[in-house]
Amino acid sequence: MQTSVVKVDPVSPAVESIRQAAAVIREGRLVAFPTETVYGLGANALDGSAVLGIYEAKRRAPDDPCIVHIAGLNDLARVTTMPVSRLLGLAQRYWPGPLSLVLPRAQAIPDVVAAGRSTVAVRMPDHAVALALIRESGVPIAAPSANMFMHTSPTTAEHVWDDLAGRIDLILDGGPTRIGVESTVLDLSCDVPTVLRPGAISIESLRGVLGPAVALADVGTSSGAVGMKSPGTSPKHYAPSAELMLYDGERVAVLRAMAQKVADFIGERKEVGALVTDEDAPYLDLPGLVLVRLGSGNDLEAVARHLFSALRELDGRGVSVILARNFPPHDIGLAIRDRLTRAAGGRVIRL
């Protein structure tokens, strides 16, 4: 299959390009498109065989359900039986934006989208290209992240190309994404609203709206062991090919241990990389080490934005092991921690 790439303005995409992409969606084929979080791999959410194509293209495990993307609250009734009045003000507060809500599934949503569950994850992305594509297609769009299964999510069209060229029909290239980590997944189908995947909408913010009862599933954020409560959140996820060694603990002790480990690896002639903040970089200015910076540790949003492309860059530079220091578990730091812990296969080196 030939994969076309069409450049689009991320703020005001050309109507022609959107029409072309919408035609592909309506034909039951696949389009990768930018959202504010990461690139999605989209298909008509009402067409089971189109959605099956997503699972084939990215070799996704069939038990891992997709998020359905809508462009307006009018679309909600097509995907869930939950009326907007019961969304606890979340839609008004966060949509369009990086919050996916797990809701009871409407009949029109095929089994394959929800991996056979009675629920469906829904979100309204905050990106002009995504919204225009959904509107022009005239259907909700099911879209997981546009990467090969278990690989790092794509934050540029080049990342999508590297993973999926020849396997999908079209990539809309709207440049790098603004947030860089995936949406927060909040389960509203159970008694206590539960964050299944931390993301750009912080748990602090959700507690501000819903009250302190909001729960956090054990998803690789606090302890070294990673829970398996929600599908698609297996420990080895968001992973680069290189082994990631993730450190946690008192800063200077961790940086010393990392520097020592780097020296050991280089002594063994291993290709070694490190993922660091600007502030930590001077401590790891070691010959032979491939250092990739994430921005200032005081700007967790910048770190989130650079995280996945930094992991891909280190892979591209051929290192076999990557060292990183963990981030604090507040705000978007919780999502960064979750993705790094998964990329490390759930193992954290505590000092």
Q: Which is nearer to ligand TXA, 125 or 333 (CB)?
A: 125
Draw the binding track, 191-230, toward Mg ion (x: CB under 5 A; -: no contact): ----------------------------------------
The residue whose two tokens read 């990461």 is 38
DSSP 120: E
8 A C-beta contact, residue 198 and residue 184: yes
Name the amino acid, one letter, at 229: K
Reduce the DSSP state of residue 312 to 3 states and report it. Answer: helix
Count of alpha carbons within 13 angstroms of residue 344, beta-carbon side: 27
Distance between CA atoms of residues 124 and 49, nearest Å: 23
Enclosing H/E stretch for 243? strand 243-248
Binding to ligand TXA by CB under 6 A, coded x per residue (else -) over 112-151, reads --x--x-xxx---x-----------------xxx------
Spatial distance between the Cα atoms of 81 and 170, rounded to a whole number of angstroms: 32
Q: Which of 8, 24, 37, 324 binds ligand TXA (CB under 6 A)?
A: 37
Partner touching 139 among ligand TXA, Mg ion, none, CB below 5 to 8 Å by kind = none
- Quick note: the x/- pattern for ligand TXA over 157-196, rule CB under 6 A, is -------------------------xx-x----------x
Cα-based angle 332, 337, 342 (whole degrees, multiple of 5)? 130
The pairing of strands 194-197 and 184-187 is antiparallel
Q: Which two tokens stand for residue 99?
A: 């919050």
* Binders of Mg ion in range 138-197 (CB under 5 A): 145
Yes or no: say if 142 and 113 are a contact pair by the CB < 8 Å rule.
Answer: yes
Q: What are phi and psi of 178, to 5 degrees?
A: -80, -35
- Between CA 295 and CA 301 the distance in angstroms is 9
Number of chain positions touching ligand TXA (CB under 6 A): 29
- How far apart are CB 317 and ligand TXA at their closest, in Å? 25
Q: Which of 106, 289 has the CB closer to ligand TXA?
A: 106
Q: Compare residues 66 and 300 and give the one whose CB is closer to ligand TXA.
A: 66
Tell me how far, at minimum, the Cβ of 270 lies from Mg ion, in Å. Answer: 29
Helix (H, G, I), strand (E, B) or coil at 74: helix
Site size toward Mg ion, by CB under 5 A: 1
CB of 10 to ligand TXA, least distance (A): 15
Rounded to the nearest whole angstrom, what is the least distance from the CB of residue 122 to ligand TXA in the complex?
Answer: 9
- State the CB neighbour count (10 A cutoff) for residue 269: 8
Question: Among 44, 230, 309, 341, which residue sits at the site for ligand TXA (rule: CB under 6 A)?
Answer: 230
Task: Considering the complex, state which of residue 81 and residue 241 has its C-beta at the smaller distance from Mg ion.
Answer: 241
321 three-class SS: strand
Q: Does 44 bind ligand TXA (CB under 6 A)?
A: no
Q: Of the listed pieces 43-51, 96-104, 168-176, 265-273, which binds ligand TXA according to CB under 6 A?
A: 96-104
Residue 221 binds which entry of ligand TXA, Mg ion, none, CB below 5-8 Å type-dependent:
none
Ramachandran bin of 235, using left for φ above 0, alpha for ψ from -120 to 50, beta for the remaining angles: alpha
Which residues bind to Mg ion, rule: CB under 5 A? 145
Which residues bind to ligand TXA, rule: CB under 6 A? 35, 37-38, 40, 64-67, 98, 100, 102, 114, 117, 119-121, 125, 143-145, 182-183, 185, 196-197, 230-233
